[in-house]
Structure 1
Amino acid sequence: MRCDGGKPACQQCVRAKKSDGCEYDDGKGKTRTQIMREHIARLESRIKELESPEITTPPITLFDPHAASPYFSESSSSSSHDSPGTTISLSASASPAPFPIGATADLESAHWDGQWSSMHDFPAVPQIGEPFGAEDPPLELAQMLLEIFLPHRHQCGLELHVGRLRESLTHPLSEQRHPVLMNAIYLWACFLSRPGQLYEHEGLYLSRALAAVNDAIANPAKAVDFIQASCLLSVYFLSNGRLLEGSYHASAAASLALQWGLHQIGRDDFVGSMSSERESTFRLEPAKDSIEQGERILAFWQVFNLDRCWSVALQRPATIPDSKHPWTAITTPWPQRMEDYETGEVDIGPGSPTIHAFFIHQAQVSNAIGGFSTFALHAKAAALLEGASRLSSSWSPQLSTSPSLTDNFRAFEHTITRFTTSLLPLHQLSATMPEDKYSLILIHSLAHASMIRLHEPFLDDQVSRDVALRAARSVTVVAKHIADGDFDYLDPLIGHCWVCAARVLISELAQLQTTWPPANTVDIRGELSTLLFSMNKLSSRFPLLAYQATKVQKLLDAN
């Protein structure tokens, strides 16, 4: 949007209800980004002071808030995770490059698409002592870590009410968010600060988050905190290449979301008399207000996106089912913006299956309010990716193609095309809010990757080959719209989209080189260079991308 330079927000942003994100450098003052960078520098400086109390005055006297903690029992409080003198020995990835990139044998023995069979190939974190005398960090440090994390929360898939999260730090302990969530956030703050000094404490906050898991599971009032934290832990492990651990926490989050019925918010109208047959043991208390209801809806779709997308990347079945059975149908309405929940505009949905309605072209009718937010588009793209992968993998060259499979294939292809054409065009992304831009980059990439996954088993057929090649080139076009500053905020899942595109391009390159006279391959090699550049750029933050880039480069060199 064209900015008129008005302060604190221009009229365009005010009318669009996006005044918080208005940023315009008129040369007369500092932009929001400049202020944020200076703020982070001050935070890191203050953290260094807190970590070295012997050189600061006056000293800070800490107390043990867990002497009568409602979160930890006596058995847990006596464990190593809250002992000030305890050292931690975990296989956490404190190193920015946990992959043995130079070990050719390890690379050749791993699946080229980024699959690893063991989590023991990564170095252990160094022995780190407790930098503070209590289980929770001091309030000032907790606030600093939270502020480092918040600009990146969309990158991790976390959607919640930021104001309430900030305020919870000052509430009595029983009213705060559960330590499992807060320590997962602090873990991410340290991880995102790489290569700064804070990353040395990743192991500390990882151990605290893991130690708080059991208490969170046993506390129904903190079920949403546990689900959100498990998602954060999963993405942390996955982006560091610790795929088994990442898959474990993703499955745990999905299982608990199902157990507490987050997949069926607004379900009663759909199931009718069946609702009385279901045990109410695992029913959450009614939400206190629309914001809490919104956070529950957002938490479910956070789990859904994680489950659907990474199940494809890890080549395993999705954990969350979605059938017509009353207990497994996903009826939770599409997620909305938090601003909508703040104003009480909660779309509780009709109680009918949400995903099925999208697939049968009824999304515009049944999800008029919540179906078109950026987060909802993300969920739809995730459903398309997993659905395309599941449908195409059901085909086998040993079996004859049935008419029903062909019909489903064409219908699904049409759904992907319909969704892709409904997205905001790439050339308009620069006019969106920054967090929307980062999300839309991923959504576009997922949509094209869905088309690739649908056609990939049929590349011997020229029609499927042409469709997959167009989709792969579209992924490359999306990558070209990523500015240098955008890489710091991209979801690591986009690496899988780049790998999917690279596979198709390399296959096309190999075929072109078998023709006579040899075809011109400059364009395809240029597109592969774009993808490799993007992978290497993002690998500075997420080690998983470094491994994927190495595998793609080896395949390219072989052609």
Structure 2
Amino acid sequence: MSRPLQRPPIDPRKRLEPLPLTTFSAHARRLFKQHWKENADGSKPICGPCRRHPKEDECEYSDGPGRSRTKALEEQVLRLEARLQELENPEATTPSVKLHDPYAQYHETQRLSRSPPIFIPQDTAPFAPLSPFSPTSTSSSLPSGRHWNTFSALKPDTEPTGSSGSSSSPLRHNPFNSPFLGAEVCRGVDKFLPHAAEFGFFLHKPTFRANALLSPSFRVVYLWGVHLGQSEALLREEPGFLIRAVQHTATDLLGTHPNRVLHTLQAQVLLAYYFFRTGRFLEAKGQTGAAISLSLGSGFHKLRSTNVWPPTILGLFQDTPLYLDHPQTALDEGERINAFWAVFVLHKIITVALEPPANVCGALEAPGIQIDVPWPLETSAYAEGTLMPESSSTVRSFLGGADTLPLDADSISLMVTKASILFHRSAHLTGHWSPNMGQREFQAFAAGFQTVNRLIETFRSQLPPISTYRASDPAIRTLILTHALTDAATIKLHGIFAYADSASKQHCLTAARSVSLQEVGYLNPIMGTLWMSACHVFIDEVSRLRMPASWPQSPTGEELTEEGLMEYLRNGINALSLYSEDNVLTRYQLTKVQEAFNAI
């Protein structure tokens, strides 16, 4: 048997190292060019090499009208060589495509959020009366925790936790480490708290001031402090405060604190008003919707209901239902009652201000949702142990004229709640008006119109005059809002008929002239919408005076001159201009009023 052939061993000393890829491609290209030059003779229609060795593909010539396939392959080889050179020598070449990080700003914000916290001096005498950093410890519905004297700054890399985390200070992510900037935050928060009720703040303020450091949900209060403080140093960091406030509002329910639902509702309401004021309407609607879902899902609309209502199950833990903790004091229960009505008022004004008339709906009065919670009181009354009696069908009874609760001069929260209902109801009713209604639809509309008009007039007669309150009284701002909502309800209700009905026109003019333009500090962002409605009434009347044949005359003969109307209009524009300096929404509304006036 013959022996199999064996490959002779390879001498390692003679082993050839593989050529680098770039060297190989360059070498191959040189051989290709040399072969083409030596053999290609350019004969047409078939070159010499192809005649000697026939092939199916037609010959390509460099002098043709288009780029030949050979030329295209050669250019591709050049591009690949250049790319290989970049990859093998990145430090010696400039990349052909420069990339950028689209999330660089977000990463920078995240980096700043892990910077050292603000240092706030313990003894800040000028801000002590209103400062939310007070070391005073009182019993409260807010979470208890470390005393101010034992509070120590957290490390820069401290990660966020839920409400129950040990690192619960709302300052742990603030991007400053300066006593000056800390004092600026104090000033901003102290500027916000006297006006907090105008932005949906429903908690007991003295208790809040004593415990503001202890709940992550209250980062939104620091956001408002920065926003209203108007410090140039802090305004640059307002987006960072906003991000932290939104993050903690979205995650604080993951904690275990017994008041996490209440505090999250407060944060959502404050954020909704912030977005509303700054012109970010989609976010405002989103926070409003989240607050509605949370309040209804937690059963706040059934607090102190006379109807049998099973307790709300918040979730399951090891197959055991989790329920909302029972309130321990009248203040605890009162804060929950006021929380629902704060969400309710927010929903009413946001819906009317941001939705087209035909889309104004009553989500909180939809079929199957019955509001039994009693009307709100001031938190000072709850702190004294006062609670409203159990109730049923609170809003439905009011709209049906069956509510017999008289307005108390001290019930500012109750006044603004009822005014928002009438404002929303007027917009909802007129949004469904159509001149092509059938007989049955028209009768239903007319009955609703008369009912709402009667409710508005009755409610207005019960309101205390604004002149009875001092300008320094914080309650005057809520009273101004209440009167303005009531007047705007009249304008909404009668505005669709003012062009053809003299009585409706007179109702609109009287209501527009009644809208207060008094400067009393920060007001609810809806005030710009209400002033704008009044201004449009005056603009329409000026237009009517310039075209007298097309508009109805006043039934009483009480006509305003064009100069008198222009005086009211100038006052309204001045109010819009004043409040538009730091309010994006009002600035936009001022522009729309000026455009409407220029168009007549």
TM > 0.5: yes
Specify every segment of 5 or more residues in structure 2 that has no aligned partner in the other structure, as ranges. Answer: 1-123, 132-150, 316-321, 552-559
Give the drift of 1:543: 2.1
Q: Structure 1 460/141 Cα, relative in aligned 2: closer, same or farther at 3 Å?
A: closer
Residues 475-511 of structure 1: CA deviation (Å, up to 9, x unaligned): 2xx22xx14xx1x222121111111112222112111
Q: 2:499: which partner in 1?
A: 460
- Is 1:130 matched with 2:142? no
Q: Which residue of 2 aligns with 1:381?
A: 419
Q: Secondary structure at the match of 2:385?
A: coil
RMSD: 3.5
2:384 matched residue in structure 1: 343
Contact kept? 1:335, 1:371, Cα under 8 Å: no
Select 2:245's aligned residue among 209, 212, 219. Answer: 209
Inter-CA distance 82–158: structure 2 relative to 1 (3 Å threshold): closer
Measured after TM superposition, the shift of residue 330 of structure 1 is: 1.1
Change beyond 3 A, Cα 1:467–1:283: farther
Q: Structure 1 residues 357, 517: closer, same or farther in 2, change over 3 A?
A: closer
Aligned to 2:534: 501
Change over 3 Å in CA distance of 1:242–1:68 after alignment to 2? closer
Q: Which letter maps to 1:449?
A: A
Is residue 327–residue 333 contact of structure 2 (8 Å, CA) maintained in 1? yes
**Residue of structure 2 aligned with 1:446, choices 485, 496, 512:** 485
Larger Rg: 2
Q: How does 1:182-201 map to 2 (within 5 A)?
A: 182-201=218-237
How far apart in 1 are the matches of 2:211 and 2:164? Answer: 22
465-474 or 183-192, larger mean C-alpha shift: 465-474
Deviation readout 1:50-82 (Å, 9 max, x if unpaired): xxxxxxxxxx983239958751799xx9xxx99
Picking from 198, 203, 212, the partner of 1:155 is 198
Contact 1:308 1:318 in 2 (8 A): no
1:244 aligns with 2:282: yes
Distance 1:139 1:266 in 2: 42
Quick one: distance in 1 between partners of 2:238 and 2:381?
35
- Deviation per CA, 1:253-296, whole angstroms, max 9, x where unpaired? 111111111112112x22x3xx3497675742111211111111
Letter in 2 for 1:558: A
Code of the aligned partner of 1:259 = G
Residue equivalent to 2:587? 546
Find the aligned partners of 2:472 and 2:446 in 1 and give their Cα distance: 40
Q: Deviations over 1:16-37 (max 9, x none)?
A: xxxxxxxxxxxxxxxxxxxx99
Change (3 A) 1:439 1:169: closer
CA change 1:508–1:280 in 2 (3 A) is: same
Aligned equivalents of 2:181 and 2:331: distance in 1? 28
Paired with 1:458 and 1:354, the residues of 2 have a C-alpha distance of 31
Task: Map residues 333-372 of structure 1 onto 2, 5 A cutoff.
Answer: 333-347=374-388, 349-364=389-404, 367=405
Q: Given residue 195 of structure 2, which amino acid in structure 1 is its aligned partner?
A: H
**Structure 2 counterpart of 1:428, from 447, 463, 468:** 468
Corresponding residue for residue 25 of structure 2: none
Relative to structure 1, the CA distance from residue 424 to residue 72 in structure 2 (aligned partners, 3 Å threshold; closer, same or farther) is closer
2:9 maps to what in 1? Answer: none
Alignment partners' CA distance in 1, 2:406 and 2:468: 23
Normalised by the length of structure 2, the TM-score is 0.65
Structure-1 separation of matches of 2:482 and 2:289? 23
CA separation of 1:131 and 1:386: change in aligned 2, threshold 3 A? same
Which residue is equivalent to 1:310? 350
Corresponding residue of 1:265: 303
Deviations 1:397-446 (A, max 9, x none): 2213522221111111000011111111233233x761111111111000
Q: Distance in 1 between matches of 2:297 and 2:265?
A: 11
Match of 2:457 among 411, 417, 428: 417
Q: Could you list the per-position Cα deviations for residues 78-125 of structure 1 after superposition, in whole angstroms to 9, with x for gaps in the alignment?
A: xxx9997xxxxxxxxxxxxxxxxxxxxxxxxxxxxxxxxxxxxxxxxx
Deviation at 1:387, TM superposition (A): 0.6
Q: 1:329 aligns with which of 370, 375, 395?
A: 370
Q: Is contact 2:268-2:291 (8 Å) kept?
A: yes
> Percent of aligned pairs with the same residue?
26
Query: Could you tell me how far apart the structure 2 residues matched to 1:368 and 1:502 are?
Result: 32
Deviates more, 1:463-472 or 1:442-451: 463-472
Q: CA-to-partner distance for each residue in 1:293-349, whole Å, 9 max, x for gaps? A: 111111111111110011000015457422573xx11111111111111111111x3
Structure 2 residue 211 is the aligned partner of structure 1 residue 168: yes
**2-structure distance, mates of 1:436, 1:83:** 34
Q: Equivalents in 1 of 2:372, 2:233: separation in Å?
A: 45
Q: Deviations over 1:119-173 (max 9, x none)?
A: xxxxxxxxxx92259xxx9998876654333122122121211222122246xxx
C-alpha separation between the residues in 2 aligned to 1:61 and 1:231? Answer: 30
User: What secondary structure, in the 3-state scheme, does the structure 2 residue paired with 1:321 have?
Assistant: helix
State the alpha-carbon separation in 2 of the partners of residues 501 and 83 from structure 1.
Answer: 45
Residue 300 of structure 1 aligns to which amino acid in structure 2? F
1:390 aligns with 2:428: yes
1:434 is paired with a residue of what secondary structure?
coil
| Cα distance change, pair 264–452 in 1 and its aligned pair in 2 (3 A) | same
Describe the shift of the 1:505–1:516 C-alpha distance in structure 2 as closer, same or farther (beyond 3 A). Answer: same
Is the Cα contact below 8 Å between 2:127 and 2:186 reproduced in 1? no
Question: Structure 1 residue 195: deviation in Å?
Answer: 5.0
Conservation of the 8 A alpha-carbon contact between 1:240 and 1:543: yes
- In 2, the alpha carbon distance for the partners of 1:428 and 1:454 equals 28
Q: Does 1:530 align with 2:571?
A: yes
Q: Tell me how far apart the structure 1 counterparts of residues 156 and 303 of structure 2 sit (CA, whole Å).
A: 36
Counterpart of 2:557?
none
For residue 551 of structure 1, what is the amino acid of its counterpart?
A: K
Change in CA separation of 1:557 and 1:523 when aligned onto 2, cut-off 3 Å: same
1:26-65 counterparts in 2 under 5 A?
Answer: 39=127, 62-64=153-155
Higher relative contact order (CA 8 A, sep 6+): 1
Q: Per-residue deviation at 1:363?
A: 2.8
Range moving further from structure 2, 443-452 or 507-516: 507-516
Q: Equivalents in 1 of 2:314, 2:164: separation in Å?
A: 26
| Structure-2 separation of matches of 1:37 and 1:531 | 40
> Structure 2 counterpart of 1:429, which letter?
Y
Report the residue type matching 1:448 in the other structure. Answer: D
Is the deviation greater in 226-235 or in 460-469?
Answer: 460-469
Contact 2:164 2:255 in 1 (8 A): no
* Cross-structure match for 2:71: none
Query: Matches of 2:480 and 2:185 in 1, distance apart?
Result: 31
Kept after mapping to 1: 8 A contact 2:330/2:385: yes
Equivalent of 2:325 in 262, 285, 298: 285
TM-score scaled by structure 1?
A: 0.70
Distance 1:363 1:65 in 2: 56
User: In the aligned structure 2, how far is the partner of 1:241 from the partner of 1:263?
Assistant: 29
- How many angstroms does 1:394 deviate by? 1.5
Change (3 A) 1:369 1:447: closer
Query: Unaligned regions of 5+ residues in structure 1, if any?
Result: 1-35, 44-59, 85-128, 171-175
| C-alpha distance in 2 between matches for 1:292 and 1:65 | 35
Change (3 A) 1:164 1:398: same
CA distance in 1, matches of 2:370, 2:349: 19
